[in-house]
């Protein structure tokens, strides 16, 4: 495994799949979290996931500055998991960051990452068109981001009901 992109729906088992792929490698691992603990629901979810991962993993928070976090982690850890790009996109849009530039920097960080790297994203475009224009814009950008990352990495896996389906 060099670079792996795991996509899937909510609670599809994509994080567990990606984590297992990383843990099959030797060494110490960086878990780059893009989530921010803003409310009790989110804080509880983050804490549960961190406890589940156990001692081989170090957690690095990178809600916005993802490319530089990947570059730094690649010099200190044997493999890296980014979970997830969809929350990162949400953070970028909320902060008003220019997306094209941020996407480009991420792509570059993936291309020049020396360690095995897995990235996770949600597939959010398979439901009814949202009424809310912001949700529509988010959905469009998430699809654009997923296409771009899928084009960059070596391997793409769609996870459904915990089961992997290789797309690339």
Q: Judged by CB under 8 A, does residue 158 bind a second copy?
A: yes
Residue 50 corresponds to which tokens in the numbers above? 């961190």
Residue numbers 80-139 binding a second copy by CB under 8 A: 123-130, 133, 135, 138-139
Q: Are 168 and 156 in contact (CB under 8 A)?
A: yes
Rounded CA separation 146/126 (Å): 13
Residue 96 · residue 45 · CB < 8 Å: no
What radius of gyration, in Å, describes the C-alpha atoms of the chain? 15
Q: Are 158 and 7 in contact (CB under 8 A)?
A: yes
Question: What x-and-dash track marks residues 38-67 binding a second copy by CB under 8 A?
Answer: ---x--------------------------
Nearer CB in complex with a second copy: 79/158: 158
Catalytic residues: 49
Provide the binding-site residues for a second copy, judged by CB under 8 A.
5, 7-13, 41, 123-130, 133, 135, 138-144, 146-147, 149-151, 156, 158, 160-163, 165, 167-168
């Amino acid at each position: 495994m060099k670079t792996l992109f795991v996509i899937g729906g909510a609670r599809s088992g994509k994080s567990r799949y990606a984590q297992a792929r990383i843990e099959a490698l030797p060494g110490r691992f960086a878990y780059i979290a893009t989530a921010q603990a803003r409310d009790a629901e989110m804080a509880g979810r983050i804490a549960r996931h961190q406890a589940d991962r156990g001692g081989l993993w170090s957690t690095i928070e990178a809600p916005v500055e993802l490319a530089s976090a990947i570059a730094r982690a690649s010099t200190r850890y044997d493999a890296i998991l980014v979970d997830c790009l969809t929350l990162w996109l949400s953070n970028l849009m909320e902060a008003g960051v220019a997306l094209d530039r941020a996407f480009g920097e991420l792509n570059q960080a993936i291309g020049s990452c020396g360690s095995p790297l897995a990235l996770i994203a949600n597939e959010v475009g398979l439901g009814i068109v949202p009424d809310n224009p912001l949700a529509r814009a988010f959905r469009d950008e998430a699809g654009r981001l997923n296409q771009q990352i899928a084009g960059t990495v070596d391997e793409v896996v769609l996870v459904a009901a915990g089961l992997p389906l290789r797309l690339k």
